Amino acid sequence: MLVKRLLFLALFGIASAVEQVRYDNYKVYNVRIDDRQQFNLLNAQEKVLRLSSWREVRHLGESSDIMVAPQYEETFESLLLKHNISYSLKIDNVQRHIDAQRSLQRTGYHEWTQYHTLDEIYAWLDLIESRYPDIVKPFTIGDSYEGRPIRGVKISYQEGNPAVFIESNIHAREWITSATITYFIDELLVPRNPGVRDLAYNVDWYIIPVLNVDGFVYSHEVERLWRKSRMPSDPTGECIGTDLNRNFDFLWMLTGASADPCSEIYAGPSAESDPEISQLTAYINNSIPEGTIKIYISLHSYGQYVLSPWGHTDAEFPEHYPQMMHVAKGFSDALYRRYGTVFTYGSSATTLYEVSGSGKEWAYAVKNITIPYTIELRDKGELGFVLPPEDIIPVAREVTEGFVGMIAAAREVDVL
Ligand SMILES: *[C@@H]1O[C@H](CO)[C@@H](O)[C@H](O)[C@H]1NC(C)=O
Ligand SMILES: *[C@@H]1O[C@H](CO)[C@@H](O)[C@H](O)[C@H]1NC(C)=O
Ligand SMILES: *[C@@H]1O[C@H](CO)[C@@H](O)[C@H](O)[C@H]1NC(C)=O
Ligand SMILES: [Zn+2]
């Protein structure tokens, strides 16, 4: 396999493709946005200073996380000073944290002490499928653009359960999501407390640990901070990839998405243009009995939010908003009680941030799934995408506790 691949690279002269992109001395700033002018100013400078947004600001008075290359650092800082924008430096060398994410002695074992590759995650799925054949039902929604299978598991202890559907790692660089959800799968298989045992026995879980398989592999092999799919859309071939969480067929391209193939939030040439999304929705349509999915979760990082529809407007609320908030509160309170981590909940649209064409919006508006969330895991802008592997277990444990609270709250409002 490796030989074949090296041969391929040699033949086509794209050996440079396997050279990893480095972020030596790239910095991440936490920048507070107090008014519209500051907001517009930073947006206008994004291309000029090649700023990379790690986290968008949601409300005035809150902050955005911005990565800056060393050659633009001075200009960027003087711009902030000149416009009286307050900021703090969060990460002074992104590469150092990327190295720390990989530095552990690598093992093939899945013990949640390291970030695994797609091959390792799939080997682990093979293992649990063979070890728990009565409980784990494997499925594949289809192949990615580059031809990798997109695998999921249904965890079911008995027939007739209501279901929760979880897609994770739709954004490639959000590694903590697949690390967390595989831990949760393991918890369901070997429940360690009565709360989790209840979730396992009485709810069916459809889980796709890595939806954006191509982007995920690319983020491991080439560019750690890759976000999008790997399907080329730009005719010049310069810009690759669709933001898969803007590619769903509900209010596609209405707001908070871009028609520029080079943008990080490029929505794709058309709704469901990318096979990852068209096959996900076809799978949900055709392979899961209508009405069984009660909760849909799109797992992301970071920011510690539970976000519900609507994403495209904060001027109106969906019919089931009260239930959505009740269940989100159940999630947040449960993990806060036990671990002290604060998750904020509400609808995803705010005065500064709107989005359409995302998974949770499609799940609600098209599939009538009452409780649809985007959950943004830790942290709140300290390390963002480069959380160290030591954080995987703490994050996974708190999310597990959150799910216990979520299911209990869903029962209270008769969603389950
Ligand atoms: C700069 O911002 C601070 C608050 O962050 C404010 O007190 C001060 O008046 C501002 N100065 C100018 C020149 O706008
Ligand atoms: C899935 O079902 C919805 C209606 O429930 C429909 O609008 C949509 O086109 C279907 N998508 C696919 C890919 O089958
Ligand atoms: C969703 O609900 C609406 C009305 O509330 C209905 O018209 C539509 O057929 C339902 N769609 C599905 C897929 O159940
Ligand atoms: Zn994301």
> CATH code at 313?
3.40.630.10
Q: Which residue has the higher pLDDT, 107 or 177?
A: 177
Residue 178 reports pLDDT greater than 50: yes
Instruction: State the pLDDT at residue 352.
Output: 81
Flag whether 138 is in a domain. Answer: yes
Which residue has a Cα nearest atom 3 of ligand 1? 84
Mean model confidence pLDDT for the chain: 94
- Percent of the chain exceeding pLDDT 90 equals 91
Angle at 36 between CA 30 and CA 39, to 5 degrees: 35
Contacts (Cβ under 8 Å, ≥6 apart) of 173: 219, 224, 225, 226, 227, 385
Residues 199 and 293 in one domain: yes
Q: Is the pLDDT of residue 6 over 70?
A: no
Are 288 and 339 found together in one domain?
Answer: yes
Judged against a pLDDT cut of 80, whether residue 205 lies above it is answered with: yes
Q: Name the pLDDT band for 12 (thresholds 50, 70, 90).
A: very low
* End position of a domain, from candidates 44, 65, 92: 92
Asked whether the predicted pLDDT for residue 5 surpasses 70, the reply is no
Q: How far apart are CA 36 and CA 165, in angstroms?
A: 38
Residue range(s) defining the domain that contains residue 294:
110-219+267-412
Q: How many domains does the chain have?
A: 2
Q: What is the DSSP string of 295-355?
A: EEEEEEESS-EEEES-SS-SSS--TTHHHHHHHHHHHHHHHHHHH----EEEES-BTTB--
Q: Are residues 273 and 371 in the same domain?
A: yes
Please indicate, yes or no, if residue 389 is contained in any of the structural domains.
yes
- Catalytic one among 174, 187, 272, 376? 376
Domain assignment of residue 395, yes or no: yes
Interval 6-30 mean pLDDT: 70
How far is 16 from 360, CA to CA, in rounded Å? 37
Ligand nearest to the CA of 244: 4
Is 118 in the same domain as 61? no
Residue 233 has a pLDDT of 84
Instruction: Please report the pLDDT score of residue 102 as a whole number.
Output: 87
Cα–Cα distance for residue pair 61/44, rounded to 1 Å: 19
Cα 231 to averaged position of ligand 4 atoms, centre (Å): 18
Q: Are residues 193 and 342 in the same domain?
A: yes
- Using the mean position of ligand 3's atoms as its centre, give its distance from the Cα of residue 365 in Å: 8
Mean pLDDT of 89-99: 97
Residue with token string 């594949």: 140
- From 92, 127, 142, the end of a domain falls on 92
Same-domain check for residues 127 and 53 = no
Residue 277 and residue 354 in one domain: yes
pLDDT at residue 106, rounded to an integer: 76
pLDDT score recorded for residue 261: 95
Atom 4 of ligand 2, nearest CA residue: 366
Ligand 2, atom 13, residue with closest C-alpha: 282
Average pLDDT over residues 68-82: 98
Residues 86 and 125 in one domain: no
Say if residue 104's pLDDT is above 80. Answer: no
Ligand 1 geometric centre to CA of 66 (Å):
21
In a domain, 208, yes or no: yes
pLDDT above 50 (res 204): yes
What pLDDT is attached to residue 11?
A: 41
pLDDT reading at 34 higher than 70: yes
Residue 321 maps to a domain: yes
Q: Amino acid identity of 65? A: D
User: Is 200 in the same domain as 322?
Assistant: yes
**In-domain check, residue 387:** yes
Work out the average pLDDT over 239-265: 97
Same domain, 383 and 277: yes
Q: What is the CATH number of the domain that holds 44?
A: 3.30.70.340
Taking the alpha carbons of 111, 112, 113, 118 in that order, is the dihedral positive or negative?
positive
Checking if the pLDDT of 15 tops 60, the result is no
Residue 199 and residue 166 share a domain = yes
Cα of 37 vs centre of ligand 2, distance in Å, is: 41
- In the structure, what pLDDT confidence band is assigned to residue 86 with cuts at 50, 70 and 90? very high
Whether 14 has a pLDDT exceeding 60, the answer reads no
pLDDT of residue 176: 98
**Alpha-carbon distance 327 to 330, whole Å?**
5
Q: 305-354 pLDDT, tens per residue?
A: 999 999 999 999 999 999 999 999 999 999 999 999 999 999 999 888 99
Active site residue 221: no
Q: Tell me, yes or no, whether 3 lies in a domain.
A: no
Q: Are residues 176 and 128 in the same domain?
A: yes
Closest CA to 376 of 386, 388, 385, 364: 385
Answer yes or no: are the C-beta atoms of 124 and 116 closer than 8 Å: yes
**Portion of the chain with pLDDT greater than 70, in percent:** 96
Of the candidates 414, 416, 392, 385, the residue with the CA atom closest to the CA atom of residue 403 = 416
The number of the ligand nearest the C-alpha atom of 86 reads: 1
Q: Please say if the pLDDT value at position 7 is more than 50.
A: no
Comparing CA positions, the residue from 202, 214, 353 lying closest to residue 279 is 214
**Cβ-proximal residues to 372 (8 Å cutoff; 6+ apart), any chain:** 295, 296, 297, 308, 309, 324, 359, 360, 361, 363, 364
Q: For the ranges 50-54, 196-200, 233-237, 283-287, which has the lowest average pLDDT? A: 233-237
Whole-number pLDDT of residue 8? 41
- pLDDT of 16 higher than 70: no
Q: Does residue 26 have a pLDDT over 80?
A: yes
Rounded Cα distance between 237 and 303, Å, is 33
Is the pLDDT at 220 greater than 90? The verdict is: yes
For 41-71, write each residue's pLDDT tens digit. Answer: 999 999 999 999 999 999 999 999 999 999 9
Mutation test residue for ligand 2: of 362, 366, 367, 368, the one with most atoms within 8 Å of CB: 366
